[in-house]
Structure 1
């Protein structure tokens, strides 16, 4: 180990490079004068309350100094999400709960004439932002765990490789602390992104996927914020959003394969993400100990995400198509059911633009995990569902959800009318096959001659064993040994006449 004096009070006499100083600041509890929690909190979008920050960063240090079964500290992510969502988050009042319950019940009745999917028995709820975090964080974990684990492993590996050999031996038992550092930073940033998203969503399915399994809920505080500037009565906005929430609930409850289809597609895409190690190594090598928020900024800007592969582009296109189909169907039947609301068209257009562009928190989340859950082709999908209704009726349109193989593709969104014609032709072909199979299973086809009738059309050779003569000198295939006309040889085993 080098004998060069250290520039701090640590007993380790190894010269401190920027990375080791940062580690000492963040993890060792010494040299904290170079660490600015407020700056890190600002970069992560966390509250600037000193007491909250002190508690949070003590949790970070405690986590890093202990072993963990997973690379990402989900408890830290949960705490960060709760604290990020807690600002200006009033509790739901009894009056708000009653208003949400009435809106969702009315929405269920209004939807009945416009979809073949039955109403659910789910009781609607009014949530605060903190309650939304609690109810949805399990799904966020499922969606982000593959990429979160990859990032945590890559960061800890790169940072460990940057340490001089002398420091690696000096760190000794701190190896596990090094391995958990990337997971701590990712968990902190993920929790902040989810907490910020809690301030933007208006329901449990606002981003197109059911974040809370078999739940139907609205967030009164966010509905009020959504209506600001629209000059539309809040009651109309609440009812329109209740129609969307109830429509999503019907779709995901009555089409049970759909939730797994969407979540599985997202998980597959996330597992395909690989981390750009060279960029992480550059970041670890150039970290400025006086600027500890640099890694948080790097996470929020997605610096670890390399360019997508062609395979990932194809997977993403399929996912975006599925999201567009969900949102397009909900958009279509919601607008039909809301025809009596004077401001339905204005609210619909606002939601369409909001879903197409995404809010700040959604962008932050997308940068963090390399995936933005936006239905880029919502309008085309809504037009396709409208076309299917005209061609096939409500029942025929909703029957498309019977199986994932029936869903339109991205190319079908370009030709809505053509998809309906192609689907009808396919249905007709399937019906013919089904009818033929049913007939066969019921006892065969009546127009075929019985196997023992003895009738042979067009002079075909008689295959009966009765020994009767065959016309035109054909050889008898029977076993009786009778003569053939015109002196043809018999093939039987009986005696000749």
Structure 2
């Protein structure tokens, strides 16, 4: 379905080089990011009152090509159920069509990763290949050093403050998944169900492709069209609502924690937040079009909507009341409850 080697080769070839730094500057940046990630985890656990019992681990520091390679490995794990499903229908597809199609898809995936690799500051990699001992790892915190350095230079902010601020957000995700045992499996199951709900017959795929073309045209005109909405089936829309709700919660919780902890450990946090928010909303027209097309604008809204939900709930019932959200999949908020936090409070926090 996807030529993964082609995806890596394309992404690495197309990605822009990072900012110019000396070898010593690079060494110091990597060392500081590793140390700050461990420091940030302690701040997050103390404030969020979540503790999975695991000792703080330093983050994995990568460059842009390293981020591309890591995400291709993650995609292979996530898409494995869909690949298996499509393999069962391989006899229906001419060999030359399958070969050309997989290489073309590999180029497309690589191009998207090249675009993202110059922008992502860090992430918690939830889907990793099994380690050599056969143990499924919980996840891995990855920080993209050249992007962090580039951002702090563009924003003209204190480097150490900015790096710790970024680590606070990303470490919140690690704490979420290491402290809530069922959360990783819940997200994995929703992703698998979403993929397996795909319509794979030729006529449906052609219809999805026409929808994708319309989405591209709409995005170029400045509309709200995006590929995610265009290519999903009706069954996938319901699953996507659940995925969107949990991801909005996780991203919003990350933003809330980083800003709540920030004033006590990041002296210039107000300046950083103000300038970073302007950077999120900026960019060229082409950059904005691509972000809208890939659904990245949806992710930006998740930060804001999720943080507003967390803030409202914590203001009403406190951190311990909010943490009832991690009890089970049934206590997670729905999309409607994120828009109206009092509905979640009434259903979960007040009932408990």
TM range (shorter): 0.7 to 0.9
Cα deviations by residue, 1:184-233 (Å, 9 ceiling, x for unpaired): 1101211222233222111133xxx6355522232221012223442322
Kindly state the Cα deviation for residue 78 of structure 1 after the two structures are TM-superposed: 2.6
1:381 aligns with 2:300: no
Match for residue 326 of structure 1?
250
Match for residue 215 of structure 1?
140
Aligned match for 1:240, one of 165, 169, 184: 165
Kindly state the Cα deviation for residue 249 of structure 1 after the two structures are TM-superposed: 0.9
Q: 1:304 to 1:251 in 2, by over 3 A?
A: closer
- Structure 1 counterpart SS, 2:157: coil
Aligned match for 2:110, one of 191, 216, 220: 191
Q: CA RMSD for the aligned pairs?
A: 4.3
Distance in 1 between the 2:334 and 2:78 partners? 23
Q: 1:389 to 1:245 in 2, by over 3 A?
A: same
Larger radius of gyration: 1
Match for residue 104 of structure 1?
37
Question: 335-344 or 83-92: which moved more?
Answer: 83-92
Q: What are structure 2's unaligned runs of at least 5 residues?
A: 129-137, 208-212, 221-225
- Structure 2 counterpart SS, 1:426: coil
Q: 1:374 to 1:260 in 2, by over 3 A?
A: farther
Match for residue 72 of structure 1?
2
Match for residue 132 of structure 2?
none
Distance in 2 between the 1:362 and 1:270 partners? 27
Kindly state the Cα deviation for residue 262 of structure 1 after the two structures are TM-superposed: 2.4
- Structure 2 counterpart SS, 1:239: helix
Distance in 1 between the 2:74 and 2:323 partners? 27
Asked if 2 retains the 8 angstrom alpha-carbon contact of 1:78 and 1:191, the reply is yes
Question: 147-156 or 83-92: which moved more?
Answer: 147-156
Asked if 1 retains the 8 angstrom alpha-carbon contact of 2:120 and 2:144, the reply is yes
1:269 aligns with 2:188: no
Kindly state the Cα deviation for residue 95 of structure 1 after the two structures are TM-superposed: 1.2
- Structure 2 counterpart SS, 1:190: helix
Distance in 2 between the 1:72 and 1:156 partners? 17
Distance in 2 between the 1:117 and 1:304 partners? 33
Write the mapping of 1:162-181 to structure 2, written as runs, cut at 5 A: 176-181=95-100
Match for residue 74 of structure 2?
139
Asked if 2 retains the 8 angstrom alpha-carbon contact of 1:150 and 1:274, the reply is no
Write the mapping of 1:98-497 to structure 2, written as runs, cut at 5 A: 98-118=31-51, 120-144=55-79, 176-205=95-124, 210=126, 214-274=139-199, 277=202, 308-340=232-264, 341-348=266-273, 374=299, 376-427=301-352
Aligned match for 1:83, one of 13, 23, 32: 13
Cα deviations by residue, 1:290-327 (Å, 9 ceiling, x for unpaired): xxxx9xx99x9989985644433322222211111001
Asked if 2 retains the 8 angstrom alpha-carbon contact of 1:156 and 1:180, the reply is no
Q: 1:357 to 1:400 in 2, by over 3 A?
A: farther
- Structure 2 counterpart SS, 1:376: helix
Distance in 2 between the 1:230 and 1:123 partners? 25
- Structure 2 counterpart SS, 1:216: strand
Q: TM-score, normalised by structure 2?
A: 0.74
Q: Larger relative contact order (C-alpha < 8 A, sep ≥ 6)?
A: 2
Kindly state the Cα deviation for residue 373 of structure 1 after the two structures are TM-superposed: 6.8
Cα deviations by residue, 1:223-252 (Å, 9 ceiling, x for unpaired): 122234423222221110011121111111
Q: 1:211 to 1:381 in 2, by over 3 A?
A: same
Distance in 2 between the 1:136 and 1:264 partners? 19
Q: What are structure 1's unaligned runs of at least 5 residues?
A: 1-70, 161-174, 283-293, 428-497
Larger helix fraction of residues: 2
Q: 1:409 to 1:239 in 2, by over 3 A?
A: same
Distance in 2 between the 1:265 and 1:136 partners? 19
Q: 1:258 to 1:227 in 2, by over 3 A?
A: same
Name the count of aligned residue pairs: 324
Cα deviations by residue, 1:420-449 (Å, 9 ceiling, x for unpaired): 23323421xxxxxxxxxxxxxxxxxxxxxx
Asked if 2 retains the 8 angstrom alpha-carbon contact of 1:117 and 1:254, the reply is yes
Kindly state the Cα deviation for residue 145 of structure 1 after the two structures are TM-superposed: 5.6
Asked if 2 retains the 8 angstrom alpha-carbon contact of 1:152 and 1:183, the reply is no
Asked if 2 retains the 8 angstrom alpha-carbon contact of 1:156 and 1:182, the reply is no
Distance in 1 between the 2:79 and 2:291 partners? 10
